[in-house]
Structure 1
Amino acid sequence: MALTAALFGLLALPLLTLTYPHILPQVSFLGGNPNLNGGQVISPKLSEFIEETLSAWNISGLSVAIVRKDGEPELRSWGKRTEEGDRVAPDTLFHMASVSKAFCASALGILIDDFAYGRNVTALPPGLSELTWTTKIKDILPGEWELMDEWASEKANVYDILSHVSGLPRHDFSYGPYDTPRDALVRLRYLRPAFELREKWSYNNQMFMVGAHIITKYSAKPYTTFVSERIFSPLDMSSTTFSPGKAERSGKLTQGWTRLGRRLPEWFNEEIAELKAGPGGVISSAVDMSKWMAMWLNQGTRKNETVVPLSVYKAVTASYSVSTSKPTDPEHSIVGYGMGWFRHSYLGHDVIYHSGAIPGFSTLVSFLPDDNVGVVVFANGGDRAAPVTNISNHILDEVLHLRGSEAIPNLLLEERGSSESTAAKSSVSADDAKTALEDYAGTYANPGYGAFTLCSPSSTSFYCTQVNSDFATVDAQAGSSTATPQLLAQWPRVWASHIRMEPERVEGHTFRVGFTSLFPNGYGIDSTPFETAEVGTSEATVEFVVEEGKVIGFGLFGLVGEVTERERIHTRVQDKAEVWFDRI
């Protein structure tokens, strides 16, 4: 199964689309009727639609900002931010997830501008005379930067890594909670590419860790400090932070929930705040993000003061690569990607945007430079890209007068009764599986991904006894205890805590894999066990290789979402796999 383009991460997908009847002539936001709804975009009818959407999709709370180029934003909120019932407010803090990428690209652009005008505080490496978007990464990070593909390692520049055309797919399970951005950078040399450099758009969070590392190295201060001083402070984003601890102490941070309403702990906690700062670490509110949006609508300025230089504004918003090569419907164009921003046309309106997702949060920000309006939508529920996008689209329809006066339909309905368990459904009999599983149990390692130990049902070590017990507890609570034995492992990573492997068939050594997070003691008020995994990112396949009667390792497939050239031309699993793990 493919790991489709959605993590979390730092999820960053083109806007989901809907077809609406009775499209009206397009009218600029500034040309609308200011007396309609008392000058407010959120009418009682639209508010009712939002409330129905939250109920249908099991979203606890939502915060919205509608931003004018000039003038005060319209701020609205719905629902609760805590288990105790505290309400979401416009100043409630949410994790931005991949919406943070535009901050990273902008900060790197500010640093480039500093070097261009002699405001830099550090020197460039010997032989490098300038820092630009086309500067090669090998020149700016000598001795640190190296990719497995020699040509990509030699030629990749700043544009390439921040536009997702480095050739590397999502290797998001390769980094753990105690890694630093430099750790992730150095490990890139061990991660297999899916494409050649600039061949194809392929989303990759690690490259924004590299971007943050460049800023830290050449600004002589932590990336988070640089962004706070050069972006947050000039925009008076006084509540915005990279620190979950600081956000929690403010009393404004919302809790997050799974798609089935289970409260989650802080996912991007203080331990990984530095690692995830570049690709997804900003924590902010609708109030503060409305200032960020207004700055973009004013091409990088606030109160006639430049925050993001115009050259940076133009560079990061201009599409450098194509993320979606053909329209998904008549209302939308193809989708381009700049640096931290997607760009497409919606019914003829130019839209620049980015979405984000981590467990417990779904976010979307967009601005329309020709229509002088921006929209911010934050939900404290995970895997909620569809309703968040639906709400944002309806707001744009209202702002741009693209809809008639008929009742707003709720076109997206939740698939109720879906389970969060990632337990695989296998047709292999329990007796056959038990016979084979012992051969596969053991420890496996990859230099880019690290090592973990797979346990069979009969494994008796202290570690395996605990692992099997935790899975049994969660499965029993979910009523999904499978009759087919599985290979199980603890594997603490940013995006998962455990792994399930279940055989697809007796012969062939192929297993379905689920990357999941277990909570055998529950969390929050509810102490019943549960597990959760991000939709579209939790399943893959592995194929074990047996030589002379012994398992020597396995290949992991499904990270890319399609058959790669590597997989097409090679025959050995060791060569064609997206990740190869040796048995040790």
Structure 2
Amino acid sequence: MRMLIVSGVVAVMTSLTSTAATPAPAVDSAAIDAVVDEYRRAIGLPGTAVVITHGNTEVHAAGYGRTPTGEHVTEHTPMAVASVSKSFTALAVMQLVETGRVNLDQSVQVYLPEFAMADPRATEITVRQLLDQTSGMSDTTFPAFSRPQPSSLVEAVAGMRGARLAADPGTQWEYHNPNFQVAARMVEVTSGQPFDEYLQEHVFGPLGMTDSRTVDTARDLPPSAHGHLRILGVAVPLPEPPAFGNGSGGVLSSAHDMAAWLIAQNNQGRGPDGTSIASAATVAAMHTPSTVSDSYALGWSIGTTASGAPLIAHSGDLFTSTAYQALLPASGYGLAVMANTGLAYADAAAIAERLIALLENTPTPPTGPPLAMVDSVLLLLVLAAVLLGGFGVHRSGRWAAAGTGRLRAAPRLLPLVVPLVLFATIHRAVGLLYRGRDVTWIQVTYLYPTFMLLLATATLACIAVLVARLIALAR
């Protein structure tokens, strides 16, 4: 049944490729520049790179603004593509499937004996289930970020030995970065090459992607590939928080290189010069949703555009940069955007949404309320917390004198401890808001910097008042 579906998709893609060969709607570089420049001015985006392809042709590739280190962003500036990396890992695995060295529906442990978990069900996890994220692994049972971070794919897989599954393999879809870390390590063991070396030889090299590579951890990112937080509309350069990402989010690429990647996806596995990195059937299989989730395939998300047209895409989110890639099968377009601001702002996806509207000649989505206004309100509350804390310390003597004894004072002091408890556990509360995803405390600070400043100020103010009142009671 799965092969019939893939064959059908191949036939549809062949038909769409023929359609894409017809003259494209008139979208020129000036119109694309205007969309990007207007967004950058409205939002205060420091730097971005954009590429649009049509069929086997690059329509536009350019950089805008500056990197955190002050260089101009160009079409050859390597930028982090974050979870867009998953589609590269999926292709690497599928190449091994093509050559017969890997079977998608075989147990992962057949190819990667070192992969073991405390849960006996892990022996049932197939290669396909890693790539379509139905393995049963989950942030709720194996924290991706809050555990000690590995420094290599070997360590990443070894760290899973004490973990359990959240569901039976193949029964539930859940986004989980370690799925693709296991897949990347499987590529290393099966091919006998380090993962970056494999991608250079079998993907980046054949496509002429000379600006691209993959790294293990956030500390391996070059300074120019870090990003920014925006506070009061001002972009503040910051390094990416510590994390491991090879296989799941470690690829660096440029607008120039992403053009070749998009062309291969829209051209049945053939790059700009006709070099094949995968068969048409393989590409179609990667774009076919799983039987468990109709919105996720093998390293790609499946959906529709605002106009209802088919959309094959994947976003990528780091805490100081974002990325987005999309294929529009009905028109033959492909596009990719990299932005050097973090996931709190979703700038890459927002620019991509506007470019898709341009390509489809539909209304441009409205720009949301400026976050600078939210920052202003939160900073005013910071000032209020300081003033209230000072007032509480000043009046602590009167508070103690007006009380009815030390024992009865304890319940009146307990509310002052609440901000401290929230400050220490805020990452768990945010994780619940993100549907159980694992989030560290420092990552929350990157997500909501002014809110965390308010929470820290309120915590210190309450502690100061608490200490002052205890001293007053003792006297």
Fold match, TM over 0.5?
yes
Larger Rg: 2
How far has the Cα of 1:393 moved from its partner? 2.0
Instruction: Specify whether residues 100 and 32 from structure 1 end up closer, same or farther in structure 2 by C-alpha distance, changes over 3 A only.
Output: same
Alignment partner of 1:215 out of 144, 166, 187: 187
For residue 301 of structure 1, give the secondary structure of its aligned residue in structure 2. coil
Is the 8 Å Cα contact of residues 29 and 59 (structure 2) preserved in structure 1? no
Please give the alpha-carbon distance, in whole angstroms, between the structure 2 residues aligned to 1:299 and 1:147: 37
Please give the alpha-carbon distance, in whole angstroms, between the structure 2 residues aligned to 1:516 and 1:241: 29
How far has the Cα of 1:265 moved from its partner? 1.7
For residue 278 of structure 1, give the secondary structure of its aligned residue in structure 2. coil
1:304 equivalent to 2:245? Answer no
1:534 equivalent to 2:447? Answer yes
1:414 equivalent to 2:399? Answer no
Residue matched to 1:96:
81
Alignment of 1:494-509 (within 5 A): 500-501=424-425
Is the 8 Å Cα contact of residues 49 and 63 (structure 2) preserved in structure 1? yes
Q: Which has the higher strand share?
A: 1
Is the 8 Å Cα contact of residues 29 and 400 (structure 1) preserved in structure 2? no
Residue matched to 1:146:
116
Residue matched to 1:235:
207
For residue 66 of structure 1, give the secondary structure of its aligned residue in structure 2. strand
How far has the Cα of 1:227 moved from its partner? 0.8
Residue matched to 1:341:
300
- Cα deviations by residue, 1:245-287 (Å, 9 ceiling, x for unpaired): 99749xxx3441024332112557xxx7xx5220011101111
Alignment partner of 2:72 out of 68, 87, 90: 87
Please give the alpha-carbon distance, in whole angstroms, between the structure 1 residues aligned to 2:191 and 2:412: 57
- Cα deviations by residue, 1:282-329 (Å, 9 ceiling, x for unpaired): 101111111111111111112332112333212221111555xxxxxx
How far has the Cα of 1:486 moved from its partner? 3.1
Structure 1: segments with no counterpart, 5+ residues: 1-27, 117-129, 324-334, 438-481, 489-498, 505-512, 519-530, 540-584
- Cα deviations by residue, 1:499-535 (Å, 9 ceiling, x for unpaired): 823799xxxxxxxx983329xxxxxxxxxxxx83336
Please give the alpha-carbon distance, in whole angstroms, between the structure 1 residues aligned to 2:189 and 2:439: 37
Is the 8 Å Cα contact of residues 289 and 296 (structure 2) preserved in structure 1? yes
1:391 equivalent to 2:376? Answer no
1:132 equivalent to 2:103? Answer yes
| Partner amino acid, structure 2, of 1:145 | F
For residue 72 of structure 1, give the secondary structure of its aligned residue in structure 2. strand
1:40 equivalent to 2:38? Answer no
Please give the alpha-carbon distance, in whole angstroms, between the structure 1 residues aligned to 2:410 and 2:284: 61
Residue matched to 2:176:
204
For residue 375 of structure 1, give the secondary structure of its aligned residue in structure 2. strand
For residue 78 of structure 1, give the secondary structure of its aligned residue in structure 2. strand
Is the 8 Å Cα contact of residues 21 and 55 (structure 2) preserved in structure 1? no
Instruction: Specify whether residues 41 and 402 from structure 1 end up closer, same or farther in structure 2 by C-alpha distance, changes over 3 A only.
Output: farther
Instruction: Specify whether residues 68 and 267 from structure 1 end up closer, same or farther in structure 2 by C-alpha distance, changes over 3 A only.
Output: farther
Residue matched to 1:168:
137
Please give the alpha-carbon distance, in whole angstroms, between the structure 2 residues aligned to 1:374 and 1:502: 39
Q: Normalising by the residue count of structure 1, what TM-score does the alignment of the two structures yield?
A: 0.59
For residue 173 of structure 2, give the secondary structure of its aligned residue in structure 1. coil
How far has the Cα of 1:342 moved from its partner? 0.6
Instruction: Specify whether residues 369 and 435 from structure 1 end up closer, same or farther in structure 2 by C-alpha distance, changes over 3 A only.
Output: same
| Partner amino acid, structure 2, of 1:316 | M
For residue 109 of structure 1, give the secondary structure of its aligned residue in structure 2. helix
Structure 2: segments with no counterpart, 5+ residues: 1-18, 386-391, 394-408, 429-437, 453-475
Please give the alpha-carbon distance, in whole angstroms, between the structure 2 residues aligned to 1:82 and 1:503: 27
Residue matched to 2:340:
380
Is the 8 Å Cα contact of residues 387 and 412 (structure 1) preserved in structure 2? no
How far has the Cα of 1:196 moved from its partner? 2.7
1:263 equivalent to 2:237? Answer yes
Instruction: Specify whether residues 55 and 383 from structure 1 end up closer, same or farther in structure 2 by C-alpha distance, changes over 3 A only.
Output: farther
Please give the alpha-carbon distance, in whole angstroms, between the structure 2 residues aligned to 1:30 and 1:71: 10
How far has the Cα of 1:30 moved from its partner? 6.0
Question: Once superposed, what is the RMSD of the aligned Cα atoms?
Answer: 3.7
Residue matched to 1:155:
124
User: Percent identical across equivalent pairs?
Assistant: 23
Instruction: Specify whether residues 483 and 198 from structure 1 end up closer, same or farther in structure 2 by C-alpha distance, changes over 3 A only.
Output: same
Residue matched to 1:62:
48
Residue matched to 2:440:
515
Instruction: Specify whether residues 222 and 188 from structure 1 end up closer, same or farther in structure 2 by C-alpha distance, changes over 3 A only.
Output: same
Instruction: Specify whether residues 91 and 502 from structure 1 end up closer, same or farther in structure 2 by C-alpha distance, changes over 3 A only.
Output: closer
Is the 8 Å Cα contact of residues 171 and 292 (structure 2) preserved in structure 1? no
Please give the alpha-carbon distance, in whole angstroms, between the structure 1 residues aligned to 2:370 and 2:166: 34
Is the 8 Å Cα contact of residues 62 and 77 (structure 1) preserved in structure 2? yes
For residue 209 of structure 1, give the secondary structure of its aligned residue in structure 2. helix
Residue matched to 2:397:
none
How far has the Cα of 1:400 moved from its partner? 2.5
Alignment partner of 1:72 out of 53, 58, 77: 58
How far has the Cα of 1:384 moved from its partner? 5.1
Please give the alpha-carbon distance, in whole angstroms, between the structure 2 residues aligned to 1:204 and 1:378: 22
For residue 214 of structure 2, give the secondary structure of its aligned residue in structure 1. coil
Q: Which has the higher helix share?
A: 2
How far has the Cα of 1:397 moved from its partner? 2.1
Instruction: Specify whether residues 246 and 416 from structure 1 end up closer, same or farther in structure 2 by C-alpha distance, changes over 3 A only.
Output: closer
How far has the Cα of 1:215 moved from its partner? 1.0
Q: Normalising by the residue count of structure 2, what TM-score does the alignment of the two structures yield?
A: 0.71
